[in-house]
Structure 1
């Protein structure tokens, strides 16, 4: 089977592309966009040498079957915090109560896989007890930003008829607003309990943890009558690993090392638009 090498970066010198093409024995260098190039019919036997070269030049790369097309996929599953959006919502909520260092430390430990996610979430949410619930809207309005390339990726998915699922260990307050804003098909997250206009420090119902994310992916996939190879999943932390394992193509986005080591692809330098060439597509105009 022929394989293309996708190379991506914010500024790729022509010399580096030519050196890579020679190293990988590629037939041609094809520009996909200003930051993405396809090295056609590359030799996958050069994976180790290419990986070393790309790391030394701060480039993202991925080996893609030559016959892959974005239309082969039917479901795109994304994590929210630090993936679809640039922030960790709970850390920003805590910041408004002067508790960001304590909460962020727990968040980081959970993302590295050092603390069970459900336990880490309970501990973090407990620290928010008594916070006015209007703080959630302030975080959404003042601090929440989409990751670079998010809307470009979603536009390409819509154009290809791909359904979208945003599944998060964060909170429904944010996922539901993003669903309406971005036209997402499905969302799942945790619900913060409130009482008398304030956060109670508790989460309602079952916590959407690593297994919960994987279960939601499987539920929507089966509902749509799809197979695993039609699913793409994107995440950044240890809590995403079970979800990523359920997908035919998994992408570690600016992720922790434990995630990069287990995903199909890793994007460390470009934004979410970098997913599109890995799926055999091109960026929409």
Structure 2
């Protein structure tokens, strides 16, 4: 189903009328792509940038479909965002995590029947100050993400305290012109207060910790030209559950922006050990449309 949706989105965007090309006045690719939590950024890490190409006194929006396939899990994400005056971003995302391998591992001890997890994420991000291109200290934004599990059976069984939680973060992004081999370099640093287990997919809090902790996240991306961006991301994770340790996430990504209406992101992702299943590595694909 997700593959069909990705193809439908691609065809619809590429076949859109030429008039739709006027979708905002910001410079090419300055809206980032859509993270797995719905906000503008990379795949794993929110950036200070706001989605779409909307500038001051403009509205803009994004829709995105994403899929990650690692050794024992698959994650599908549908997301949408709205940008008002390049000042406020409102986002929503639905995550679906396939649990077949985990349920098979745990069912004898926990009596689990559920084979997937669904999480809704509602986000808001405000640009506080600066501009990613022209301000000496870059652009700074603050965001909040409210996350809600739609079925708490598995997270509860492994020791999670709550089925919902809120992440708060601050991000700073700066584009350095002609920084590496005469090519532009984007650098982002985010600080997130969270108590989410595996981003909230395994609930919030646990027997080892039930308080928010400050986690650091970073991204770096090199523009090969206007249409191609390559880079890497790293995201720290809290370790709340005695059931299993939680590793940090990282990825190596490439983003292609062939048109202001379309962005395609592919990545090699490493999620480490997830709920006793070791060394979860795989591929990630995301399509984003802007309007």
Mark yes or no: TM-score above 0.5. Answer: no
Provide TM-score, normalisation by structure 1: 0.29
Higher relative contact order (CA 8 A, sep 6+): 1
